[in-house]
Amino acid sequence: MLEPTSAELRDYLFDLRGYLLLERAVDAGLIARLNQTLDEFPALEWGQWHGNVQRFDNNGACGLELQNIVEGGQPFEELIDHPSWIELLRRYCGESDSYVQGLFIDECFASIRRSGGFFPIHSGGYHGAVRGQYRYANNVFRCGQVNILLALTDVGPGDGGTMIVPGSHKSNFPHPQAGHQGQMDELVGVVEVTMKAGDALLFVDGISHGASTRTNSGERRVCIYRYGASWGATRYGYRYSEELLGRLTPERRAILEPITPRAPAKKST
Ligand SMILES: O=C(O)CCC(=O)C(=O)O
């Protein structure tokens, strides 16, 4: 069954479950260009850079992660303010209707998962950080961080797909079955999200989430862009290059650098 697209139903489901599945969010042409750019990427060791992109896997199990991927080429720049999600992000985590209205990308990376890879369970309302919190109050959304996870390949059973615990962004308890490795495959209450290439999963970072263990051969590829309020800073301290900032549209630049750096004018010698 297709996910509903009316604004009221989206708000209702996002509030209730903490996520939305945006089906066919990105067209096949852009998905092909994103994959081709990744195909042409050199093999990197952990910590190694290619231009301003760094291989920086979050943990030993998750697979290969290319951080700061917005510097990885034009197709990744097109995701910054993609029309399929940008207005939803402004609404949910862009401090809309306030004096600091605007968005910021806190982290953006491509993730490539092969057989055996998984992502341990994390986040959830219990002891949640304000940075990732879900909040709706006084008729406005004030979430700390909302993520777009875009499928670059089809993600079905055995592919190492994203898992979420619907409603857990409001949970007052940790999941009692979460083991020390944090694998989610057998946990009660978990939903594994199946996706077609081009579908995007929008979810508040404060929901309990992770990914199932990949048992199939081949690769699962996704991009994850984390959005937050305009006054944020990049999670790992990545700085965008002058070349990238210089060539972006004003709208995209305002999402990567919402506050123009201020410094005294350089004295001429
Ligand atoms: O790889 C996935 O599907 C989930 C990734 C994740 O949970 C994260 O990066 O926080």
Classify 132 as helix, strand or coil.
helix
Q: What is the pLDDT of residue 266?
A: 79
Pocket test for ligand 1, best of 201, 224, 225, 236 (most atoms within 8 A of CB): 224
- pLDDT band of residue 219 (cuts 50, 70, 90) is very high
Ligand 1 atom 8 nearest Cα: 210
Sheet containing 209-211: give its strands across: 119-122, 209-211, 162-164, 191-192
Protein residues with CB under 6 Å of any ligand 1 atom:
58, 111, 119, 162, 209-211, 224
Atom of ligand 1 lying closest to residue 113 CA = 1
Ligand 1 atom 4 nearest Cα: 210
Instruction: Tell how far the Cα of 240 is from the centroid of ligand 1, in angstroms.
Output: 23
Atom of ligand 1 lying closest to residue 209 CA = 7
Q: What is the pLDDT of residue 269?
A: 62
Residue 263 has pLDDT above 90, yes or no: no
pTM of the model: 0.95
Highest-confidence segment of 25-39, 174-188, 255-269: 25-39
The mean pLDDT value for 183-209 works out to 96
Instruction: Tell how far the Cα of 209 is from the centroid of ligand 1, in angstroms.
Output: 7
Q: What is the pLDDT of residue 43?
A: 96
The mean pLDDT value for 32-51 works out to 97
**Tens-digit pLDDT profile for residues 116-170:** 999 999 999 999 999 999 999 999 999 999 999 999 999 999 999 999 999 999 9
Residue 3 has pLDDT above 70, yes or no: no
Average pLDDT over the chain, rounded to an integer: 95
Instruction: Tell how far the Cα of 57 is from the centroid of ligand 1, in angstroms.
Output: 11
Residue 2 has pLDDT above 60, yes or no: no
> Can you give the three-state secondary structure of 135-181, one letter per residue?
CEECCEECCCEEEEEEECCCECCCCCCEEECCCHHHCCCCCCCCCCC
Q: Are 239 and 146 in contact (CB under 8 A)?
A: no
Q: What is the pLDDT of residue 4?
A: 64
Alpha carbon of 200 to those of 45, 220, 237, 240, 251: distances in Å? 28, 14, 26, 24, 21
Domain 21-256 classification at class level? mainly beta
Least confident of 58-62, 105-109, 175-179: 175-179
Domain ranges of the chain: 21-256
Q: Are 46 and 55 in contact (CB under 8 A)?
A: yes
With a CB cutoff of 8 Å and minimum separation 6, the contacts of 269 are: none
Q: What is the pLDDT of residue 182?
A: 85
Cα–Cα distance for residue pair 188/12, rounded to 1 Å: 24
Secondary structure E strands in the chain? 19-22, 49-50, 53-55, 64-67, 103-113, 119-122, 136-137, 140-141, 145-151, 162-164, 191-192, 200-204, 209-211, 220-229
Q: What is the pLDDT of residue 261?
A: 84
Cα–Cα distance for residue pair 120/241, rounded to 1 Å: 32
Instruction: Tell how far the Cα of 15 is from the centroid of ligand 1, in angstroms.
Output: 20
Of 32, 8, 25, 89, residue with least CA distance to 258: 89
Instruction: Tell how far the Cα of 62 is from the centroid of ligand 1, in angstroms.
Output: 8
Residue 1 has pLDDT above 60, yes or no: no
Pocket test for ligand 1, best of 107, 123, 148, 149 (most atoms within 8 A of CB): 149
Q: Give the phi and the psi of residue 90 in degrees, each rounded to 5.
A: -60, -40
Instruction: Tell how far the Cα of 119 is from the centroid of ligand 1, in angstroms.
Output: 6
Q: What is the pLDDT of residue 267?
A: 78
